[in-house]
Amino acid sequence: MQWWRGAVIYQIYPRSFQDSNGDGIGDLPGIIGRLEHVASLGVDGVWISPFFKSPMEDFGYDIEDYRQVDPVFGSLDDFDRLLARAHELGLRVIIDMVLSHTSRRHRWFQESRRSRENDRADWYVWADPKPDGTPPNNWLSMFGGPAWTWEPRREQYYFHNFLPCQPDLNLHNMAVQEALLDECRFWLERGVDGFRLDACNYLMHDPALRPNPPRPPGAPPTDGVKSSNPYNRQYHVHDKSQPETVDFLRRLRQLTDSFGEVVLLAEIADDNSLKVMEEYAGPRAPLHTAYSFALLGPELDTRIFPKAFEAFHNGSRHGWPAWAFSNHDVARVLTRWGGRDAPAAFAKVLIALLCALRGTVFIYQGEELGLPEADVPYEQIKDPYGLNFFPDFPGRDGCRTPMPWDDSDRHAGFSSVDGWLPVPNEHLLRSVGAQEADPASVLNFTRNFLAWRRRHPPLIVGDIGWIRAEPGLVSFVRMDAGRRIFCAFELAGSERDLALEGFVLGALDEGGTGRLEEGRAILPPYGFLFAEVHDAPQEPGQ
């Protein structure tokens, strides 16, 4: 079986995981020192957010050199040691590859910006101004303002989907594609087990630079974008998600296939993310799997669950999705879906639901502790996205604060000094050390649940059949090799009594906090239930 199918992958944001040298910033040696904690959870691998050489204007997603580790994180030797230690512990290693754009400090851009006549003049997206000097079209940056910045050396604008410090590469140029494939090959030769392709559907633009059409008033926002962002006033049909992207991804898949079981995972954010997920990672598509912001939204809408699976599994299709409830780009799920006072029981039912879904699962660091979103004061905000949109949107720092390891240390065991972001007191109370000794903690629940999940293959590789998705309730059946497991989750904080007509259920050991009665399942507040589905007894003469 392909290792990534049904795998649970733990996301590490290296800047905030563990500081080993006392500068207040996490690093690769720090990750090495904490890998045993990750392995103890029972996960199958780690995804490490960017650690490449970078000016850190977007904290690593602005790459200056794809082949160097930024000194703040360590060295290439440190990465090799991390990879070896992870493999010793049975953990696969997926790294972020940011192929849509670079830092403006990258040597490719420094050459491209010098003139219109040089070897890399066409490596980025350049365009002449309109006769009145304004940008060539109406494209907008996701981080606010126009997606075009003036370059006086060329007397042209360059395109950037994100910050002005992140110019977009021109992947319509085959030399750029070859260069990016070489950067990927460098890490494949070092032994990485996969790539998470950041902003994957942003890889290509419309070469004709046609303007985007306006979005009608009241239309839903682009996935992953705050509704107040002017980016949501357009349908983004020309600045991303171009058909040529799939051709490049096929070239990347051909490369990675030559290195064995290397997984390609796409991040998708679009006006119709589920459709793009199908094109990039559905049946016969070039990538192994993809995730969108469908389950990373600001509100818990249980009705989205069946819809999110349609692109991958509706009888005629049979692709493999990926799912996350939290990551480094959105508020932590406990607060986002449960509010400031969400109890530990809500954190547990979310872990159970996420890890019972059909697909590859991503757990963000601290999710195993049930961490809430941190309140970062304005004067300590570092995220440029948040600085641009404060106070409506405070940015992404609240989910990026340092990992709390030790409640007896004011630096949370993360560093010997104050971290690059503050550690809130409520995180100290939920530290790894504080939860280790509590059998009922979210941490020990996560470990026990993942160990239990391994004993039930339908929850890992089985198909899925939806039963109910109504406010506060999700239920479905996972099926594999003739075995069926009923799964139900109460997410509203109230007891739920489910009539189970047509089901004959048998209890599973440690199968949740709910209970079975004659023809019914009883779920306590934030409860869940797993039960074996049996065939109904046949009446005489049937």
Token representation of residue 30: 């720090």
- Amino acid symbol at 474: V
C-beta separation of 396 from 383 below 8 A: yes
What lies within 8 Å, CB to CB, of 368 at 6+ separation is 41, 351, 442, 443, 446, 447
Local structure of 532: helix, strand or coil:
strand
C-beta separation of 490 from 496 below 8 A: yes
Phi-psi sector, 145: left (phi>0), alpha (psi -120 to 50), beta: left
- Amino acid symbol at 89: L
What's the rounded Cα separation, in Å, for the pair 163 and 147? 8
Mapped to the 3 state alphabet, what secondary structure does 151-205 carry?
ECCCCEEEECCCCCCCCEECCCCHHHHHHHHHHHHHHHHHCCCEEEECCHHHCCC
168 bridge partner residues: 101
- Amino acid symbol at 378: Y
198 flagged as catalytic? yes
- Amino acid symbol at 50: P
Per-residue DSSP letter, 282: S
Q: Other CB atoms closer than 10 Å to residue 87's CB: what's the count?
A: 13
The residue length of the chain stands at 542
Catalytic pick among 198, 239, 271, 407: 198
What lies within 8 Å, CB to CB, of 52 at 6+ separation is 60, 63, 64, 65, 66, 67, 68, 69, 70
What lies within 8 Å, CB to CB, of 277 at 6+ separation is 266, 268, 290, 291, 292, 311, 312, 321
490 bridge partner residues: 473
What's the rounded Cα separation, in Å, for the pair 222 and 412? 37
Q: Please choose, from the candidates 112, 5, 30, the residue with its C-alpha nearest in 3D space to the C-alpha of residue 412.
A: 30
Catalytic pick among 267, 270, 367, 407: 267
What's the rounded Cα separation, in Å, for the pair 491 and 426? 23
Query: What does 59-105 look like in DSSP terms, one character per residue?
Result: TTSS-SEEEEE-TTT--HHHHHHHHHHHHHTT-EEEEEE--SB--TT
Q: Is the dihedral of CA 58, 124, 243, 189 positive or negative?
A: negative
Q: Which residues are catalytic?
A: 198, 267
